[in-house]
Structure 1
């Protein structure tokens, strides 16, 4: 005998999903809501891949919150639109369509949760947040029409006007399908309005787009030329690409380095990775969505692994162009692209809405500051360093209580570049340094060998207290470069031989003070900075002006267009 049907909520956020979950759970019916966006991701990946959805939620009687709008740099997912796909796979299911006053819904969607939905949709669609209500309203009306066309008068569609019908009335209606003896005590479908929503709405309506620089065309040409430098397609294949390599054919196929399918699918003009894929393969999904956002479908090869030596004199030759987020100076056929999840508009250092550094240079502490993961490698005299620090950390964890083995491993770990620098200057009065262990290695912060060098994670206000910020190379380019240089401090940056998409615009002695490899001359460069405060202020001002352009969403889209144009022209 068949059990009670499943129920799918096919309305967007702020249409009563929390109350739906409450009334189902109140009556003992398992429910899944949102699940960090995994419900929507699973449905849309399955739709694109042609497989059955939701196998990880076999017991859920109600599935609601079928959307994702965080992180903002990933495209917002709206699997509540996929009712026809869900209907094919769950023909006995019921579909709950909740509706409300459109203006009230638009207000909530723009302003609830700090405007998270608005931020994601504006980023993806390339519009100001103030332009979203008209687009959202048109989308909603199209959805209602599509639902009506698909279901007609089919009784499996349950319509609920939450402005007129109470949760108790819906309980009574659902009782014909499954036991619903207990009714929620409150009659409201939505949380109480937050006063912060009005402030958020004013900010949306009063926001102004940045003025376009008069030399934008020249600037874009220069940055695109730098990203495309070394583009010389020929023979040689792809021997140096990583396991996260992904070739997209511009249509539905995503292939790995051996030609097998990568777990990414195209659904509703979005690239969607299978839930749970390695985050470095998820970066390829991000690159494809960058391209789709431009209205393009250029076939591309992508390798968003860190520390890409290929194409350089010290790595495997590369015969075909590959989009990467880093390369060695002088590399061939490694085309630079912003790193999804780090270089996107709205991320730290690239956020046009971020509060600027308000502390004048002269009022900052006269010390060098640095925090970061010990993601360097064993220091060597040659160009290529030795084993990476995470190799030693893994060995240290495996050593257990073997003190002799731990001492042997520590002797080499302490000679990796970042940890070695921190150990040299940890007690020096001119420096405020500290290791912040990445989440996967967080337990090492309590290890007696590493604990003396570990410090808590700090926000931008902490670093802006200091006159001199430091950028140290890790496995490749130091990830704090752009946040540090976009301040009224002056940046001292290690010249590590790595390039990312913005590197060509930041020049030593014009925008930052260059530091020798492994920070060998840091004290000499600090002494120079202290003797030349006017030059430091000029560098800082020039750096902030340059950084602002990389945080301009319009310029970013035009830049990506130009990079793709250059790839297409190279054949």
Structure 2
């Protein structure tokens, strides 16, 4: 058996090339795994267990061991834990991959269209322009630490990717691995494109700290309004904080630094020295709960909070779906009892590229095509059922001929998309999803709309009902487009902040009045443009970390009062 291999340089330094080198030569490699490698190493440190144990018997090479979730989870650069890996896997080969540091910084700024840098800046609470110096100092410290730790070790390889050829990798690794097949390096076209993007980097570095221009009084007023909107329509407590509101609820106990199930079982969540909760990599289904736990812990240091972090919950909406005590959720039915609203973690984090207020380069109204565009995924509930489209797709994945096959075409978006996609003059398409498309094909189902990834700049954008709530509409409201939103009886934390006819045009369920609404917008271009502009201005006020903290602190204070904790 060849020794383990660990790439321990930073991301954006040819990590994909290194992973492909092993893949091409049929040497089992794990590259990034959407952050799972880094999450596993970090959790192992906190729990005193062996890192990467779940892959140790099947994987030889590990590359890009980093996790940046674009929501409130720790930024983990687990490649820096080379000493831990060295102790658990003696005799392993370690490769430090480097490049010209200025080019690396620029590449990091541009990674994922700027979302990577914005997320890290938000996590650190610094302006984007400060990251360059922070990253440069981090680079120097890491390289010095690695070289000191592995000094004189034959199993340590130091490669500058700016000058190394594929043959150089092959030669350096030849004592341990047979690598006859070599992937090509990025061509000159890719390198020229990187240089052409430098003006974008400079513009990002000039962006001010979010919220720096907000008036303190207006900030406090908006935070208070958001907290009022988050309060339940009806608040009636039947039990105490020691009793779960329902069987699916989770309890975040900041006194014990624990997340527990309704049955008292402790979830695999550990709090690190940075104050953030880390989640075990094998439990991705708890990622929503972990992110909200970090949201709450970042605002307060005490209290117990019952959470229902399903994408959407019927809790408190009728006798069949009780909420026997106050709880916190990200999407509730209108009028639900005992349910406080919290921002959904997938979008509503300052620094996340989908959050309102993020600078966008979309063309202004006059430069947009006179058309309506929708891009999205299958979503929503089946009629008279708590089954979501996402859950039914998972069920179909395990049994292609099961009951889910009949239910999925009846979920919220499916029939609406099938109708809209057939209408001329509308640009309606599902975003690509390899898993979904494979599952539908196996079940013999035809998607209700074509699949395309492009979303041309258009004057009108559509937000359909589903189980994401505000998450779909917010990026659209932050654009220069007029947004038409299908009304569905669900409430997110911004649902009543953005008002119909003022910030968007409402649509009847099923989009029955879409043609009439579009006709009005085309006949009243000035009013339509003003609605889009008002929505964008309100989004800019939401991209304020201090205001968001005020808002969330008030929601938690109201919750503690409702549960007798204050």
Tell me the residue number matched to 2:213: 212
| Paired residues of 1:227 and 1:336 also in contact (CA < 8 A) | yes
Q: Which residue of 1 aligns with 2:483?
A: 491
SS in 2 for 1:135: helix
8 Å Cα contact 1:246-1:284 kept in structure 2: no
Separation in 1, partners of 2:430, 2:229: 33
Q: 1:260 & 1:309 partners in 2: Cα distance?
A: 24
Partner residue of 1:461 out of 444, 456, 467? 456
TM alignment of 1:9-408, pairs within 5 A: 9-13=7-11, 33-55=31-53, 56-58=55-57, 63-69=62-68, 71=70, 74-90=73-89, 106=105, 109-110=108-109, 117-139=116-138, 160=158, 178-179=175-176, 194-196=194-196, 198-209=198-209, 212-214=213-215, 215-229=218-232, 235=239, 237-240=243-246, 242=248, 245=250, 247-249=252-254, 252-269=257-274, 270-279=276-285, 281-291=286-296, 300-314=305-319, 316-345=321-350, 346-348=352-354, 350=356, 352-360=358-366, 365=370, 370=374, 372-377=376-381
- Find 1:501's aligned residue among 493, 497, 505: 493
The 1:83–1:424 alpha-carbon spacing in structure 2 relative to 1, beyond 3 Å, is closer
Q: Which residue of 2 aligns with 1:550?
A: 542
Sort the Cα spacing of 1:77 and 1:476 in 2 relative to 1 into closer, same or farther, 3 A.
closer
Deviations 1:27-67 (CA, angstroms, capped at 9, x unpaired): 99866554543322221122223321222033655544332
Q: Structure 1: any 5+ residue segments left out of the alignment?
A: none
Deviations 1:398-457 (A, max 9, x none): 686x9xx99xx86x8766554444555665557555666865442577699964842223
Cα 1:91–1:478, aligned 2, differ >3 Å: closer, same or farther? Answer: closer
Which residue matches 2:504? 512
Q: CA deviation at 1:289?
A: 3.5
State how far apart, in whole Å, the 2-side matches of 1:130 and 1:564 are.
Answer: 33
Structure 1 residue 507: Cα displacement: 1.5
Q: After superposition, give the CA deviation of every residue in 1:283-327 in whole Å (9 maximum; x if it has no partner).
A: 122223434566967654433212211123455433444332111
Write out per-residue CA displacement over residues 523-548 of structure 1, whole angstroms, 9 at most, x where no aligned residue. 66556556655544433332222223
Deviations 1:1-39 (A, max 9, x none): xx8764545443356767877998999986655454332
Q: Secondary structure at the match of 1:39?
A: helix
- How far apart in 1 are the matches of 2:107 and 2:99? 11
Q: TM-score, normalization: structure 2?
A: 0.75
TM-score (norm 1): 0.74
SS in 1 for 2:365: coil
Contact 1:124 1:293 in 2 (8 A): no
Give the direction of change, closer, same or farther, for the CA distance of 1:543–1:525 in structure 2 (3 Å limit): same
The 2-side partners of 1:7 and 1:424 are apart by 52
Q: State the alpha-carbon separation in 2 of the partners of residues 474 and 89 from structure 1.
A: 46
Cα RMSD after superposing both structures: 5.1
Partner of 2:456, secondary structure, is helix
- Cα 1:262/1:224, change in 2 over 3 Å: same
- Per the alignment, in what secondary structure is the counterpart of residue 475 of structure 2? helix
Is this contact kept in 2: 1:444–1:451, CA < 8 A? no
User: How many angstroms apart in 2 are the aligned matches of 1:492 and 1:189?
Assistant: 42
DSSP-derived class of the 2:496 partner: helix
| Distance in 2 (alpha carbons) for counterparts of 1:419 and 1:396 | 18
Q: Structure 1 residues 285 and 212, CA, compared in 2 at 3 Å: closer, same or farther?
A: same
Please report how far the alpha carbon of residue 204 of structure 1 lies from its aligned counterpart in structure 2 after TM superposition.
3.1
- May I ask how many residue pairs the two structures share in their alignment? 548
Judging changes above 3 Å, is the alpha-carbon distance between structure 1 residues 510 and 166 closer, same or farther for their aligned structure 2 residues? closer
Change (3 A) 1:73 1:428: same
2-structure distance, mates of 1:154, 1:306: 52
Q: Hey, what's the Cα distance between the residues in 2 that align with 1:553 and 1:80?
A: 30
Q: 1:134–1:424: structure 2 CA closer, same or farther, 3 Å change rule? A: closer
CA contact 1:172–1:180 (8 Å) conserved in 2:
no
| Contact 1:489/1:540 (<8 A) preserved | yes
Return the match for 2:463 from 458, 466, 471.
Answer: 471
Query: Larger relative contact order (C-alpha < 8 A, sep ≥ 6)?
Result: 2
Cα offset for 1:500?
0.8
Cα shift at 1:355: 1.8
The answer for unaligned runs of 5 or more in structure 2 is none
User: How many angstroms does 1:373 deviate by?
Assistant: 4.3
Contact kept in structure 1, 2:246 and 2:324, CA below 8 Å: no
